[in-house]
Amino acid sequence: MKTKWGSCNRETGHIWFNLELVKKHPLCLEYIVVHEMTHLLERNHGERFAMLMDGFMPDWRSRRDQLNNAPLADEQWQYAELSASQAAA
């Protein structure tokens, strides 16, 4: 299943991100940010796009693969117990 992690409007310069990205590894989030910003320079995913991505983020392919291979609901939240003094602060 393909997921739309972000989108870019070149005319307005606006970029939107899927909020599910907050559950992903920061390297994957950084990849999506650079990917969408690259669309400000190149609309399509052709050779020029790949060359720009190579210049901005040489390991973008491995980050893309990490994001695409992770389960969609890959959540591993850990909660720490607060002491009484921490909770009161």
Give tens-digit pLDDT for 12-41.
999 999 998 888 889 999 999 999 999 999
Nearest 5°: the CA angle 39, 45, 48 is: 80
Structure-token pair, residue 1: 């299943």
> Domain spans of the chain?
6-88
Residue 1 has pLDDT above 50, yes or no: no
Averaged pLDDT for residues 48-61: 98
Q: Is the pTM of this model over 0.85?
A: no
Q: What is the pLDDT of residue 22?
A: 87
